[in-house]
Amino acid sequence: MLGTVQTAPGGTNRIVVLHQPIGVAVLVTPWNFPAAMATRKIGPALAAGCSVVLKPASDTPLTALAIAALLAEAGVPDGVVNVLPSRRSGPVVAAMLAEPAVRKLSFTGSTEVGRTLLHAAADTVLSCSMELGGNAPFLVLPDADLDAAVAGAMVAKMRNGGEACTAANRFYVHSSVADEFGDRLAAAMGGLRVGPGTDERTQLGPLITPAAVGDVDRLVQDAVRRGASVRTGGRALDRPGFFYAPTVVDEVPESAAILREEIFGPVAPIVRYEDVDEAVRQANNTEYGLVSYVYTADLAAGLRVAEALESGMVGLNRGVVSDPAAPFGGVKQSGLGREGGHEGLLEYTEAKYIATSW
């Protein structure tokens, strides 16, 4: 934790700035990364000097309880890290936000729930960090190394089976390379071995719930009805469990719902474009702005596109952007504040200015 000391511009006094713990922090985490989402909030909160109450997702409470047990074993004092699982998420979190000792809310989840929590936090003027939904564009420029682009696409799309806020959601591919890119991506996606996590050979597991399968299929079928073509997959698998086939849909029209909604599943929609500026316009045509991906052999062009994209993070010739040492977060309705890096630590502090002379 750093502070600063400087002389006031008028020379009349010194400016001392301290960063002090903000207070009790309520942490609300999603089901898709139950360990990472908890630890990336608990870590900086403890480092800043805050105690926390963690409310894990209703579908995945056991990981959070296991982490709490490990922290207790490691010597964290009683009452510093508290875990409160509940099926009644709304009333439980609302009660915590109304408690005067609580001064911080850190939430990771959907934009819809984030809006509701921001309304609730307004009553007590809580500091809020929000890591919300995404709709990540993946831009393939005409000079891109297609081997690298396809490999990056597989990581950006299929990490956690596509059930990630950072998952590539829309693939904007220049028409000169769209056929080859589509062929290679369809071959890679179609070649994945689908199965349960108990099988070591499995490369893609099930989705979280039957409703998730239905949501993914709804988006795929809507795109097909609007003129998109299925290159591979395009259906739920007829087997026990919540499985959806790895899917690539090509020539998706701009009107398709799959380009506006977060897919949260193993589906890659391809949009062909002629002009890079038009691709950037389409990429920015969303209320979300968490992460974007750009593949090009021209670093200068890639940096220009990265600056033009309206997102808090950009993977330039990389399919993974997450790094504990880097500020993670979005713009527009993808969130407020940052997690990770020094910026993530400061989210759990208040700046105190002391005017003095000596």
Task: Let me know whether 118 and 144 are in one domain.
Answer: no
pLDDT digits (tens, 9 = 90+) for 16-26: 999 999 999 99
Q: What is the pLDDT of residue 75?
A: 96
Q: What is the pLDDT of residue 47?
A: 96
Task: Let me know whether 178 and 128 are in one domain.
Answer: no
Rounded mean pLDDT, 190-194: 97
Task: Let me know whether 49 and 116 are in one domain.
Answer: yes
Whichever domain contains 120, its CATH number is 3.40.605.10
Task: Let me know whether 345 and 311 are in one domain.
Answer: no
Report how far residue 125's alpha carbon sits from residue 120's, in angstroms, rounded to the nearest whole number.
9
Q: Which residues span the domain enclosing 59?
A: 4-132+330-356
Q: Is residue 94 part of a domain?
A: yes
Q: What is the pLDDT of residue 88?
A: 92
Tell me phi and psi for residue 83, to 5 degrees: -120, 130
Which is it for strands 247-250 and 267-273: parallel, antiparallel or unpaired? Answer: parallel
Residue 147 host element (H or E): helix 146-158
pLDDT digits (tens, 9 = 90+) for 296-307: 999 999 999 999
Q: Is residue 59 part of a domain?
A: yes
Q: What is the pLDDT of residue 268?
A: 98
Q: Is residue 322 part of a domain?
A: no
Closest CA to 270 of 255, 253, 257, 245: 253
Q: What is the pLDDT of residue 287?
A: 96
pLDDT digits (tens, 9 = 90+) for 74-113: 999 999 999 999 999 999 999 999 999 999 999 999 999 9
Q: Is residue 325 part of a domain?
A: no
**Domain tally for the chain?**
2
Q: Is residue 321 part of a domain?
A: no
Task: Let me know whether 299 and 176 are in one domain.
Answer: yes
Q: Is 2 exposed, middle or buried (0-12, 13-18, 19+ CB in 10 A)?
A: exposed
Task: Let me know whether 126 and 233 are in one domain.
Answer: no
Rounded mean pLDDT, 110-118: 95
Report how far residue 274's alpha carbon sits from residue 287's, in angstroms, rounded to the nearest whole number.
24
Report how far residue 8's alpha carbon sits from residue 12's, in angstroms, rounded to the nearest whole number.
6
Q: Is residue 231 part of a domain?
A: yes
Distances (CA, A) of 237 to 81, 94, 160, 167, 321: 41, 39, 18, 22, 31
Task: Let me know whether 99 and 243 are in one domain.
Answer: no
Task: Let me know whether 33 and 87 are in one domain.
Answer: yes
Band (214; pLDDT cuts 50, 70, 90): very high
Q: Is residue 323 part of a domain?
A: no
User: 150 and 188 in contact (C-beta within 8 Å)?
Assistant: yes
pLDDT digits (tens, 9 = 90+) for 258-290: 999 999 999 999 999 999 999 999 999 999 999
Q: What is the pLDDT of residue 156?
A: 98
Q: What is the pLDDT of residue 134?
A: 96
Q: Is residue 72 part of a domain?
A: yes
Report how far residue 188's alpha carbon sits from residue 185's, in angstroms, rounded to the nearest whole number.
5
Band (223; pLDDT cuts 50, 70, 90): very high
Q: What angle do CA 310, 288, 300 make, to 5 degrees?
A: 25
Task: Look up tokens 């790094």; give the residue.
Answer: 323
Q: What is the pLDDT of residue 172?
A: 98
165 is catalytic: yes
Rounded mean pLDDT, 49-70: 97
Question: What value does the mean pLDDT of the chain take?
Answer: 97
Band (15; pLDDT cuts 50, 70, 90): very high
Task: Let me know whether 72 and 47 are in one domain.
Answer: yes
For a pLDDT cut of 70, what percent of the chain falls above it?
A: 100
First CA to last CA distance, the chain: 24
Whichever domain contains 290, its CATH number is 3.40.309.10
Task: Let me know whether 126 and 140 are in one domain.
Answer: no
Q: What is the pLDDT of residue 215?
A: 97
DSSP code string of 310-333: -SSEEEES-S----TTS-B--SGG
**Adjacent-strand bridge partners of 355:** 15
Residue 220 host element (H or E): helix 210-225
Q: What is the pLDDT of residue 227?
A: 97
Of these residues, 50, 131, 262, 339, which one is catalytic? 131
Of these residues, 50, 128, 163, 165, which one is catalytic? 165
Coil/strand/helix, residue 222 = helix
Task: Let me know whether 151 and 221 are in one domain.
Answer: yes
Rounded mean pLDDT, 315-339: 96
Q: What is the pLDDT of residue 110?
A: 94
Task: Let me know whether 236 and 335 are in one domain.
Answer: no
